[in-house]
Structure 1
Amino acid sequence: MRFSITYQVSEMPTHYRMKIYSLIKEAVKRGAPDYYLKIFEEQRKEIKPLCFGTYLKEFKIEDKKIHLKEITITISSTMEFAIHAFNGFRELHSYEIEGVELKQTKIQLLKEADIVSGEVYFTTISPILIENRMGKPLSPAHPEYENELNYYANLQLKQMAGRELYKPIRFTPIKMKKTVIKESNQLFRQTHNEESLFYTAYRGDFKLQGHPEDLKILYQFGLGKRTAYFGLLEYRREGA
């Protein structure tokens, strides 16, 4: 299930993604407290059944702040998670991030693509993060990129479908661009000298080939590493 929420807001920190993740968690908590405890407390180390991306309208970055008109959050998740989050967001008419108020202006269900073939063209809503086992980011041109992508895809399938990939995923970049994501949280600041985490990810257009059922799962729950924040895909078309 896929839906979006739009908030009017004038200013946000550059490390806003984890703040938005906290907003999503708050919505789930309001919609279903017991489910929140299960997903975010009891199963805190497991891959979460959601992926989200953001769109910032008319934004401008100045120092450590982003000035903008509004933010739209797109969430793709299981039906159960989406129902609880959607109900919670209907109560979250306003929310505060670092002293700045977000005012909700729209919440809507989105149409999902029904993937039926083994070749699908996508574009990113949130950039794809692929790192090797030592935590080094890889570009789509790297010879190990596809192997590592399959590693993360297998983890996703095991968590969300209880199985491995039916067949390996083939990744063909079409027009991809590097983007460096700046993030921070309280635990990181307490244990490191630096204020921020930096992730090197890639956004743009690409083609995936694989089993249709595998591609459906990756479309719904994200592609790559840290798929709560990264790897949300938008369907373009199928076939050659």
Structure 2
Amino acid sequence: MRTVKVYQEAWPLHTPFVISRGTRSEAVVVVVEIEQDGIKGVGECTPYPRYGESEASVLAQITTVLSQLERGLTRAELQQALPPGAARNAIDSALWDLEACMKHTSVSALNAVELPEMVTTAQTVTIAAPEQMAASAALLWEKGARLLKVKLDDRLITERMVAIRAAVPEAILIVDANESWRSDGLAARCQLLADLNVAMLEQPLPAGTIALWRILSTRCRFVPMKAATRVAACLRLPDVTKW
């Protein structure tokens, strides 16, 4: 018989995280602990309001399968018990961690995955005035970051990007608009990003605006695009790959 604990944690952010959808000053997570035979597995998730989730809704979802978890619900059974989302992610992670701990190994070893010695990850430049974003990018570069993700909304795009590129001329830049752009000026914006040697454009348009995505695919061939999570609700993968 297992023991399951579910609780919420809030971690204050050193710097407010500002994107086109709003500002966050803390990271709120839901934690799942599953203990069996004195061994504990831990998983967590971040509920996203953008996808219809809240801390309360995720906690409620997890509660619906608590008794099954206590009786030994497996990862395979979990896939049918809960829909994809933060709640299932936290439980799935805890079950993986539990199995790895019980077998005195790692999750990567269980999956026969060899971990690289080093992983390059993007550091984020959040939305602010152009000079502030440039200063933030320069500071990240000085600290060793070579891949920067630049958050943008629908304002001051040229001013911000020109200032950032001037501050970090050798950095690899990704632009993430978090679905804040519309059709007006798409070609000019894409040309600007290409001129500034931007490596990728992520989530420029709102989910569900398939016609705009098709327009973008013809006007923005200079810069690779990333549609991210919500495109799955609109298109089949073969349709996406045609772009």
TM-score (norm: length of structure 1) = 0.23
- Higher Cα Rg, which structure: 2
> RCO greater where, 1 or 2, for CA within 8 Å and sep 6 or more?
1
| TM-score w.r.t. length of structure 2 | 0.23
